[in-house]
Chain A
Amino acid sequence: MSQRWRLATGGCINRSRPLRFVFNGRVLTGYEGDTLASALIANGIRTVARSFKYHRPRGIVGVGAEEPNAIFQVGEGRKTVPGLRATQVELYEGLTAYSVNGWPSVEFDIYAINDLIGGLLPAGFYYKTFMWPRSFWKRYEHRIRQMAGLGRAPDASDPDTYDKRNIHCDVLVVGAGPSGLMAALTAARSGARVIVADEQSEFGGGLLGTGIEIGGMEAGKWVQKMVEALEKWPEVMMLSRSTVTGYHDHNFLVINERRTDHLSNPVPLMSRERMWRVRAKQVVLATGAIERPLVFADNDRPGVMLASAVSVYMQRYAVLPGRSLVIFTNNDSAYRVVHDAINAGAVVKGVVDLREGAASEAADAARRVGVPVYRGHVVTAVKSGFGGVNRINIGRLSADGRSVVAHKGSIECDVLAMSGGWNPTVHLHAQSGGRPVFDEAKACFLPGFSVQAERSTGACAGEFDLSLCLVGAVEAASEALRQVGIDPVTVDTPGTAQHTEAPLRALWSIPGDRAMPRGKKFVDYQNDTTEADIRLAAREGYRSIEHVKRYTALGFGTDQGKLGNVNGMAILADALGQSPSAIGTTTYRPNYTPVTFGAIAGRAVGEVLFDPIRRTPMHEWHVENGAAFEDVGQWKRPWYYPLPGEDREKAVSRECLATRHSVGILDASTLGKIEITGRDAAELLDRIYTNAWKSLSVGRCRYGLMLGEDGMVMDDGVTSRLSEHRYLMTTTTGGAAHVLNWLERWLQTEWPELKVFLTSVTDRWAVTSIAGPKSRELLESLSEGIDCSPEAMPFMSFCEGRVAGIAARVFRISFSGEVAYEINVSADQGLLLWRAVMEAGKPFGITPYGTDAMHVLRAEKGYVIVGQDTDGSVTPIDLGMDWIVSKKKDFIGKRSLFRADTARDNRKQLVGLKTEDSTVVLPEGAQLVNGFSSSRPVPMVGHVTSSYFSATLEHSIALALIKGGRARLGGSVYAPLLDGRLIKATITEPVFYDSDNVRQRG
């Protein structure tokens, strides 16, 4: 019979809906209402994982987000998700799950050898061992990752969709336990817009499955009534399966809602997860508390569980984690397990309570049902066999709690339910900017001063008494409402049974059995951080908890130390002889639990929405004609147009030669275009560009270089004077937006007196550029009303007219060194014009060329590309462009050119390189050296910025930045390549072709 550990009655599960699932290849059955964890317990599966470092067998410890061990790969194929906590995975028909870190299986793991040699694997072991010698780290890392294993990403793209929604509210209530529900009802009845988010599948939080009476009814009933009441209010939104994962600035919170992961057959097209982006006026945190483990020898054996988890499994899920239990506690709350276990038919062998003496209400109640209570005792050893705990030893604790004074004997059991008290879930408070404060009496960190509009209530504020929680929640909600100007209505709180709890005794580390001194006391289960590791870190000089965290990996797991951190902090405090309040906490960061990439991305996946793709009006033609594309900024630009049988190199050479000998055509639409209008347009240009602009007459164009205020080249382009107070600036393709913002910023923040308007017109114009000795003839054949003669339209001028019947502005500017025209037409006419030019160019053998040929042609002419030949550390002087830097006027960046560092003469300067072997093309980015050198590292004198084979020159050419390069013309440098070759090259002027500019001016 399957589910041998399932109770016959009780629980919030549906026995009429059995569900089959597969765990590590075994087909098992659970019920609707189960989590994967409760279903595994129902089937008696106790070892579910192997630990990270020592590969010790591990079982389920907790019941919620805190679970450190039962972390699985869930689902198959493209939908698989790694790192899910079985305690939060709802069971559905056909679910598949795998343990991720046992090899070959969790039952038999060959790396368990690490446990036996554990003495050799202390804290910082990886830092100390594998980081030396440094170069070996890469090799070790691979092995370590394989041994550790935290799951794998899907190997194909996600088939699901994910949504995001923005929403505002008056009050966001986080957590729908008794406090959250009470706070929400107060806010709802007062007329506020309320959101309630809870991470579980059902509302009720800690009340779920308990037999507690509240308001004269059983807890489940009360929860149901509350939820029904809340859902009636139109301004109340109740979100289950919704974790508030992040609390960010200005009360911006993110809720991760999981919509379909619990379904075996999700509704088609329904998004799998939804990210709510909430701007809340006020936040009420009712996030509860997580029970704290006790730190004792071998406290990680399967069967050692949180006491509260044991209760929840028995009551809510009707499964038995074990049949004979021992409870080990330092407080009264764990005594609940006694009664829950007896009700479930299990045997409670005893309660080991480390507190001394005096009777307590809880202990008396346990004794009354025949359960022995060992006051002043501790568990000194955990014996385990295949399948986990089978016996524990107990001993009498010394008065100071530092040693065991007498052995009491041993008790057989299969579950040890432990409780070291409770840690309020202060994560969101801390994320909001609050600093948790240690409370000595309650021995836990409580929310501190509120930095944002938030308040904590209930167990997360350290209030563990239910009736006081309910009262506090109404108060908290009322105060939040007053803050947003809403009068809170009076809400009565339901009555509950009152208990008097004896105080807990904080004992952060339990002394062990002298006979078994080697038992490891685990603090952080997920990372195998032990008490000894933390004490070692303290001995080695670590003082800050943030450093100890990084050294021991405490809290570094995907559970972010929800169970272990506070114990770890307290143990460090003890080792340093300080109080936990002096140590403080590590930083709580979003997200509270891991979030999938899908949820973060939402619909912004793929080409369309992640980053827009920009296509020119002529794109369609490029595609039809087989262009290979290159991404330039967001633009798709034709890279080259291979003919059948051509590779890139052949195509580019053909395109270059055709342009040099006849005519080439380039789509230049992507160049940034900014219209600058107004009385002071020329003044603006004068201040922005390094050269003078007031002398430019209407109808003429000028090249300009703009610098950052640090004197470094930022962008370049040609600007034309369209009319008296109207200019058209072109920018680099990738720099257009930046330049527009740059100009706008100076105008608005520094020069508001300038009367200038800026308009981005990049998309308004389609630009067909024709270049080559036949370009004029081609233009003439197409144009009306344009005198194309060199006298009427000289180099660096423009005119307006019609080309192929289309209204056009034709600029005679050249980036290729040939006679060239940039024909600008309205964007919607771009394709028409392009096709007309192609048709008219047939007699000349017109050849379309892409960015690659464009790069070669301009490099032959020594024209730099900003961003390729410059990198933000290059001045115009470094580029040998002193000629464009005005001596007379000020401009942005000018003063920086005279700073000591920018003015020194051994800066990297732009030069040309010609390789000794004309066929060898240097890789761009190659470092340059002066030759063989015995010193290490070999002094580097520069690097290659552009490099191509020039078909025109039949020689490899390159541009490079070389220290003091201008003084080394004619000398040699060497490029050591990865394959061991050392390529010799001669330093030349950076202009390789037509250095007198005869061709482009022709």
Chain B
Amino acid sequence: MLQIECPWCGACDQSEFSYGGEAHIARPKTPADLSDQEWGDYLFNRENPKGWHREQWCHTAGCRRWFNAVRDTVTSRIKAYYQMGAVPPEEDGR
């Protein structure tokens, strides 16, 4: 069970949160202009990296706010949290 630091509530058990998958998948402004390929990419294709991953979490059983985290998918270590719309911290590889 991860321990996740909600930017508003502090460190809480993972069981209070829900996972939102990869962050920074912006919804296209004009979906109608996209090819099937491009729309499919937005809809289905995700990075699934081994290593640092910027992802969305929601403190569902707490303040109900969404935020971003940078987590290592191998060790589950989380090195940074930042708010929706904020610029992600620079990646430093592993």
- Residues of B close to A452: CB separation below 8 A: 75
CB under 8 Å from chain A, chain B span 47-84: 56, 58, 60, 64-66, 74-76, 84
A894 part of interface (Cβ distance < 8 Å): yes
Residues of B within 8 A of A249 (CB): 1-2, 14, 76
Q: Is A221 an interface residue (CB 8 A)?
A: no
A895 lies within 8 A of B34 (CB): yes
Residues on A with C-beta less than 8 A from B87 are: none
Q: Smallest distance from the beta carbon of A853 to chain B beta carbons, Å?
A: 36
Q: Residue A784 at the B interface, CB < 8 A?
A: no
Contacting pair B36 A279 (CB below 8 A): no
Tell me, rounded to whole Å, the shortest Cβ–Cβ distance linking A925 to chain B: 28
With A752-B85, A895-B34: A252-B1 Cβ-Cβ less than 8 Å: yes
Distance in angstroms from A626 CB to nearest chain B CB is: 37
In the complex, per-residue mask of A268-304: 1 if CB is within 8 Å of any chain B CB, else 0: 0000000001010000000000000000000000000
B66 and A748: CB pair below 8 A? yes
| Residues of B with C-beta under 8 A to A710 | 43
- How far is B76's CA from A248's CA once the two chains are assembled, in angstroms? 10
The verdict on B89 contacting chain A, using a C-beta distance below 8 Å, is: no
Size bracket, chain A contacts: 20 to 34
A709 in contact (CB, < 8 A) = yes
> Is there a chain B Cβ closer than 8 Å to A764's Cβ?
no
A739-771 interface mask toward B, CB cutoff 8 Å, 1 = contact, 0 = none? 001001100111010000000000000000000
Question: Do B32 and A896 touch across chains, with their CB atoms under 8 A apart?
Answer: no
Indicate the member of A433, A710, A895, A898 with the most B CB atoms within 10 Å.
Answer: A895
Max chain B Cβ within 10 angstroms of own Cβ: one of A749, A894, A899: A749
Residues of B within 8 A of A279 (CB): 3
Check A890–B32 contact: CB distance below 8 A: yes
Q: How far is the CB of A96 from chain B (nearest CB, A)?
A: 37
Whether B64 pairs with A744 at a CB distance below 8 angstroms is: yes
Say if the beta carbon of B27 comes within 8 Å of chain A.
yes
Q: Are B1 and A745 in contact (CB under 8 A)?
A: no
Q: A249-B76, A710-B43, A899-B36 are in contact. Are A749 and B84 (CB under 8 A)?
A: yes
Q: How far is the CA of A899 from the CA of B36 in the complex (A)?
A: 6
Q: Is the CB of A896 within 8 A of B60?
A: no
Among the listed B3, B66, B74, which residue makes an inter-chain contact with A745, where contact means beta carbons less than 8 Å apart? B66
Query: Which residue of chain A lies nearest to B28 when distances are taken between CB atoms in the complex?
Result: A895
Task: Give A279 to B20 CA distance when docked, in angstroms.
Answer: 24
Shortest C-beta distance, A46 to chain B (Å), equals 44
* Contact present for A895 and B65 (CB under 8 Å): no
A900 at the interface (CB under 8 A from B): yes
Q: Is the CB of A899 within 8 A of B40?
A: yes
Known A745-B66, A749-B66, A896-B39; contact A250-B31, beta-carbon cutoff 8 A:
no
Residues of B within 8 A of A252 (CB): 1-3
**Is A451 in the interface zone, CB < 8 Å from B?**
yes
Give the residue of A248, A741, A748, A899 whose beta carbon is less than 8 angstroms from that of B65: A748
Which residues of A sit under 8 angstroms from B1, Cβ to Cβ? 248-250, 252, 277
Taking a contact as CB atoms under 8 Å apart, the answer to whether A900 and B36 are in contact is: yes
Inter-subunit contact A741/B39 (CB<8 Å): no
Nearest residue, chain B, Cβ from A709: B43
Check B20 against A752 for contact (C-beta < 8 Å).
no
Q: Which of A744, A750, A752, A894 contacts B31, CB < 8 Å?
A: A894
Specify the chain A residue showing the minimal Cβ separation from B40: A899
Which residues on the A side are within 8 Å of B34 (C-beta)? 895
> In the docked arrangement, what's the CA distance between A896 and B84, Å?
26
Instruction: Give the total of B residues in contact with A, Cβ under 8 Å.
Output: 28
Beta-carbon nearest neighbor of A750 in chain B = B27
CA distance A250 to B84 in the complex (A): 24
Give the contacting residue for A899; candidates B2, B32, B39; CB below 8 A: B39
- Given A250-B2, A896-B39: A749 touches B56 (CB 8 Å cut-off): yes
Query: Residue of A at shortest CB range from B56?
Result: A749
Q: Are A451 and B3 in touch, CB under 8 angstroms?
A: no
A-chain residues with CB within 8 Å of residue B65 when the two chains form the complex:
748
Chain B residues, Cβ within 8 Å of A745:
20, 58, 66
Shortest C-beta distance, B15 to chain A (Å), equals 10
Could you mark each residue 4-32 of chain B with 1 if its beta carbon is under 8 Å from any beta carbon of chain A, else 0? Answer: 00000000001000101000001110111
A741-B36 in contact given A250-B3, A750-B27 (Cβ < 8 Å)? no
Q: Which residues of A contact B75 (CB under 8 A)?
A: 433, 451-452
Assess the A250–B76 pair: CB atoms within 8 A: yes
Q: Which residue of B28, B64, B84 is within 8 Å of A752 (Cβ)? A: B84
- From residue 442 to 468 of chain A, which have CB atoms closer than 8 A to chain B? 451-452
What's the Cα separation between A279 and B14 when bound, in Å? 12
A993 to chain B, nearest CB (A): 38
Q: How far is the CA of A741 from the CA of B57 in the complex (A)?
A: 12
Contacts of A750 in B (CB 8 A): 26-27
- The contact string, 1 if C-beta is below 8 Å from chain B, for chain A 869-909, is 00000000000000000000010001110111000000000
Residue of B nearest to A433 (CB): B75
* CA distance in complex: A709, B20 (Å): 14
Q: Which of A688-716 contact B (CB under 8 A)?
A: 709-710
* B39 neighbours in A (Cβ, 8 Å): 895-896, 899
Which residue on A lies nearest to B68, using beta carbons? A749
Assess the A741–B32 pair: CB atoms within 8 A: no
CB of B13, distance to nearest CB on chain A (Å):
8
CB nearest neighbor in A for B38: A895
Which residues of chain A in 820-864 are interfacial with respect to chain B, using CB atoms and an 8 Å cutoff? none
Q: Which A residues are CB-close (under 8 A) to B58?
A: 741, 745
Q: Which residues of A contact B30 (CB under 8 A)?
A: 890
Contact yes or no, A741 B27, CB < 8 A:
no
A4 to chain B, nearest CB (A): 51
Residue pair B60, A741 in contact (C-beta under 8 Å): yes
**B residues in contact with A895, CB < 8 Å:** 28, 31-32, 34, 39
Q: How far is the CA of A745 from the CA of B43 in the complex (A)?
A: 16
**Cβ of A753 to closest chain B Cβ, rounded Å:** 10
Alpha-carbon gap, A279 to B1, bound state (A) = 9
In the bound assembly, the distance between CA atoms of A752 and B74 in angstroms comes to 32
Which residues from 430 to 444 on chain A have a C-beta closer than 8 Å to any C-beta of chain B?
Answer: 433
- Docked pose: A823 CA to B30 CA in angstroms: 41
Interchain CA distance A709-B64 in the complex, whole Å = 22
Which residue among B26, B32, B36, B85 has the maximum number of chain A CB atoms within 10 Å of its CB? B36
Collect the chain B residues with CB atoms within 8 Å of residue A451's CB: 75
CB distance from B67 to the nearest CB of A (A): 9
Contacts of A890 in B (CB 8 A): 30-32
Write out the residue numbers on chain B whose beta carbons fall within 8 Å of the beta carbon of A744.
Answer: 64, 66
Nearest neighbor of B24 in chain A, beta-carbon distance: A749
Q: How far is the CA of A252 from the CA of B31 in the complex (A)?
A: 44
Q: Which residues of chain A have C-beta atoms less than 8 A from B31's C-beta?
A: 890, 894-895
Q: Which residues of A contact B14 (CB under 8 A)?
A: 249
Chain B nearest Cβ from A477, distance in angstroms: 23
Contact residues in A for B32 (Cβ distance below 8 Å): 890, 894-895
Chain A residues lying within 8 Å of B66, measured Cβ to Cβ, are 744-745, 748-749
Chain A residues within an 8 Å CB radius of B84: 748-749, 752
What's the Cα separation between A112 and B58 when bound, in Å? 58
Residues of B within 8 A of A749 (CB): 20, 56, 66, 84
Q: Smallest distance from the beta carbon of B58 to chain A beta carbons, Å?
A: 7
List, in ascending order, chain A residues with CB within 8 A of B26's CB.
750
Other CB < 8 Å A-B pairs besides A433-B74, A745-B58, 13 of them? A250-B3, A252-B3, A709-B27, A710-B43, A745-B66, A748-B65, A752-B84, A890-B31, A895-B31, A895-B39, A898-B36, A899-B36, A900-B36
29 of the cross-chain contacts (CB-CB < 8 Å) are: A248-B1, A249-B2, A249-B76, A250-B1, A250-B2, A252-B1, A252-B2, A252-B3, A709-B43, A710-B43, A741-B58, A741-B60, A744-B64, A745-B20, A745-B66, A748-B84, A749-B56, A749-B66, A749-B84, A750-B26, A752-B84, A752-B85, A894-B31, A895-B31, A895-B32, A895-B39, A896-B39, A899-B39, A900-B36
Q: Give chain B's interface residues, CB within 8 Å of chain A.
A: 1-3, 14, 18, 20, 26-28, 30-32, 34, 36, 39-40, 43, 56, 58, 60, 64-66, 74-76, 84-85
Q: Which 8 pairs across A and B sit closest by C-beta, in order of nearness?
A: A895-B31, A748-B66, A249-B76, A250-B3, A252-B1, A250-B2, A895-B39, A249-B2
